[in-house]
Amino acid sequence: MKMDIRRIKKWALALLFCALATGGVVGMETASADEEFEGEKFTEGDLKGIISRDGKRCWIQHISDDMIRNNTLTIPSVVKGATVVRISGTPESYSGAYENNAFAQNANHCFGPLSKKCKNLKRIVLPDSIETIGEECFAYLNGLESVRLPKRLKAIESHAFERCRSLKSLQFPATLRTIGECAFMGCKRLQSVSMGGNVGRIANTAFCGCFSLGRVSINKKNKRYGVGDGYIYEKNKKSIFLIYAQQSSFSIPEGIETLSRHCFQSGAIKTIYVPASVRKIKNNAFSVNQEVRIVVSRESKWFANLGRHVVTRPDGILTCMYAYNVKRMELPEGVKIIQRKMSVIGTDYPDLTVYALDDSPGFTEIIFPSTLKELRIVQAWNLPKLFDGVGVARMEFKGKVPPTFGYFNYYHTLYIPAGTTQAYEEAFSELEYRDFTLKEMPRKPY
């Protein structure tokens, strides 16, 4: 009986620990970053923000561009007696529009509208007290060349330095733990990055579009990430996290089993060799707007080349579509399934998650093979004259037996083999929306 009681206590403690780790149990709440800074709003000269209830911690939410002097922004470590531990913006601090940025209405930029002073800003000096650089805080500062990061920095949140296109190098402090989604996306002149041993999470899209990156160092004590010759790998997963090598061809090392989302971020590689050991190529691993040829080992049990495309073995799922400078896309026989997400080489929107046939990759016509069994999604973003006139205006199916369809939202004529209208009508009968028409192709003379 005593043993049973001990076991019950152990299980109870384990369940309590799990509940706390995942956000609490019923009747208990965990404090968010916003709740932590509920307190007095302040305006102090060129700064606005919140000071925590205990008066010890400060969150800077808005900075006047009057603080920029000689193209340099220097943030103080103490405001109204409180230590500055977080800097970001809020939607309320935004009152203008980023130039040519359709997503500006949700921006959290610390400056609000980007003035001429902001655009000429070249250097940012942050105090060592700051632990978090918040979402979109310094995004779109095209002239920014260098950032002095805090020694106590723990987190760089999503889009924090997005499209800071003049930024060339980054020295992360040893305290840094996380780098968020798209944190440095589009920093196309970024050449070198140095990380410490405590970084435990780097978002897959953190360095999307950093095509000049050629030097990366990570402290050997880091438990999760390591550096190879031109790539970052995850130690416990046999996975390549980021390929940045600045050379014309690159061979993925034998023994690697997984290629992570958005892992290919090199502006120099034209040919990449995939060994037989690779079992999984994750969504958008090779979604880039440049010419890249993927060569799969003939000994692979998991993938195969069909022309310049890549499909899975044996089920024929299209994993990488080659669409660079292609206007008429005729997919080869052997493609059986087009999945919801895949890599598109030649997409016009390399910074966004690419769905199958979404965010048009540039071709205006697509022909599906007779082997196609399943088409999981087609979106309506492919309308002509949308996105500067790029769109899939013509679709043709070769199969006399129609594939099964997932979500299919298309606004034009679908061309199908002669004598198959009834079969295709039945295949489309359960679609929620139907805005296209079917047209039979004439029979080919024998």
Give the pLDDT of residue 388: 40
Asked if residues 371 and 334 have their Cβ atoms less than 8 Å apart, the reply is yes
Give the pLDDT of residue 24: 39
Give the pLDDT of residue 36: 55
Which regions of 231-357 does DSSP assign to beta strands (E)?
231-234, 239-243, 249-251, 258-259, 271-274, 280-281, 293-296, 303-306, 309-312, 317-322, 328-330, 337-345
pLDDT tens digit sequence for 188-241: 999 999 999 999 999 999 999 899 999 999 999 999 999 999 999 999 889 999
Asked if residues 158 and 203 have their Cβ atoms less than 8 Å apart, the reply is yes
pLDDT of 85 > 60? The answer is yes
Residue of higher predicted confidence among 287 and 248: 248
Banded model confidence at residue 445, pLDDT cuts 50, 70, 90 = low
The overall average pLDDT reported for the chain is: 82
pLDDT tens digit sequence for 333-391: 999 998 877 888 886 444 433 444 544 456 778 899 999 999 887 654 444 433 344 46
- Judged by phi (left if over 0) then psi (alpha if -120 to 50, else beta), residue 430 lies in alpha
pLDDT tens digit sequence for 410-441: 777 889 999 999 999 999 887 776 778 899 98
pTM of the entire predicted model: 0.81
Residue 86 makes CB contacts below 8 A (sequence gap 6+) with 33, 37, 57, 58, 59, 60, 130, 131, 132, 134
Helix (H) / strand (E) containing 55: none
Q: How far apart are CA 144 and CA 141, in angstroms?
A: 6
Q: Residue ranges per domain, the chain?
A: 39-167, 316-446
For 213, how many CA atoms within 13 A lie in the half-sphere containing its CB?
26
Query: Domain 39-167 - what CATH class?
Result: alpha beta
299-304 contacts: CB < 8 A, separation 24 or more? 300/274, 300/275, 300/276, 301/276, 302/276, 302/278, 303/274, 303/278
Residue 283 makes CB contacts below 8 A (sequence gap 6+) with 261, 341, 342, 343, 353
